[in-house]
């Protein structure tokens, strides 16, 4: 499905990013794993290699225009071209919307990584794809939080809603260049971020997070979603088989979100 294609995955060091990298390898693609934590990206690459895949790793801050450009340059010099880009890197800071706090800092931190960097990375990747003349695919990892609006996550919810809207815009604008853009909206995935949410709620409500976490799963599925399951949907959206799916934000949350 992705044989001969090179895919960059941001935030690939753990969670959904690691699952995406592994799924790309399963599908025959070459993986460029980027993360703020180089050691974590290297751990992911070891898993990719165990699956028979190959690739490179880079320590990258997705809000750093120069660093992102360098990854693209290095990738093109190494393998000749860039075929796909996955904007997965994300951050979450929880807090009640009624309470005062470091609102400006929280807004900036989450929107810089979750939304602004998605546009920056997509733009740089798209420019390379246009220069190649071969098109490509971009997949953004949004969240069902961008559709549902979970409590105590107002800024995060808004940042992911921005990704959903941005995906529609980029798909329409870049179609003429053969660049397909879509998003996935995960929920209930077995990741460190879900554990973070359980920890925050548990501390405030005096409940053991270990008791909360098993309850934070898709009702219809009856279990947590595994990162590689999200990754396999992303791998499909990166492939030629997804050409007729454009500008969509697809729920991958076990049926929790019906729209």
Q: Which residues are catalytic?
A: 156, 160
First to last CA, the chain: 28
How many Å apart are CA 139 and CA 16, to the nearest integer? 13
**CA 206 distance to own-chain centroid:** 31
The position carrying tokens 């798909």 is 171
How many whole angstroms separate alpha carbon 188 and alpha carbon 17? 15
Copy the structure tokens of residue 196.
């973070």
| Contact by Cβ (8 Å): 108, 52 | no
Which residue has tokens 């960097």?
A: 117
Three-class secondary structure of residue 69 per DSSP: helix
Helix pair 15-26, 38-50: axis angle to 10 deg: 30
Residue pointed to by tokens 């660049």: 179
């Amino acid at each position: 499905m992705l044989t001969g294609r090179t895919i960059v995955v941001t935030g690939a060091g753990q969670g959904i990013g690691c699952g995406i990298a592994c799924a790309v390898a399963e599908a025959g693609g070459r993986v460029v794993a980027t993360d703020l934590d180089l050691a974590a990206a290297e751990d992911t690459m070891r898993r990719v290699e165990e699956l028979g895949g190959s690739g490179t790793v880079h320590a990258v801050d997705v809000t750093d225009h120069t660093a992102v450009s360098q990854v693209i340059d290095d990738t093109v010099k190494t393998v000749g071209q860039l075929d796909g880009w996955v904007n997965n890197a994300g951050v979450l800071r929880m807090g009640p919307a009624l309470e005062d706090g470091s609102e400006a800092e929280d807004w900036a931190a989450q929107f810089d990584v979750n939304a602004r960097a998605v546009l920056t990375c997509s733009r740089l990747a798209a420019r390379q794809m246009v220069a190649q003349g071969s098109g490509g695919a971009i997949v953004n990892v949004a969240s069902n939080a961008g559709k549902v609006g979970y409590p105590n996550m107002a800024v995060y919810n808004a940042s992911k809603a921005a990704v959903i809207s941005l995906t529609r815009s980029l798909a329409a604008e870049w179609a003429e260049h053969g660049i397909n853009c879509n998003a996935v909206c995960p929920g209930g995935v077995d990741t460190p971020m879900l554990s973070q949410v359980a920890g925050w709620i548990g501390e405030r409500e005096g409940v053991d997070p270990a008791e909360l976490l098993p309850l934070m799963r898709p009702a219809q599925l009856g279990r947590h979603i595994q990162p590689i399951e999200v990754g396999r949907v992303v791998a499909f959206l990166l492939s030629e088989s997804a050409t007729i799916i454009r500008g969509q934000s697809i729920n991958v949350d076990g049926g929790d979100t019906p729209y």
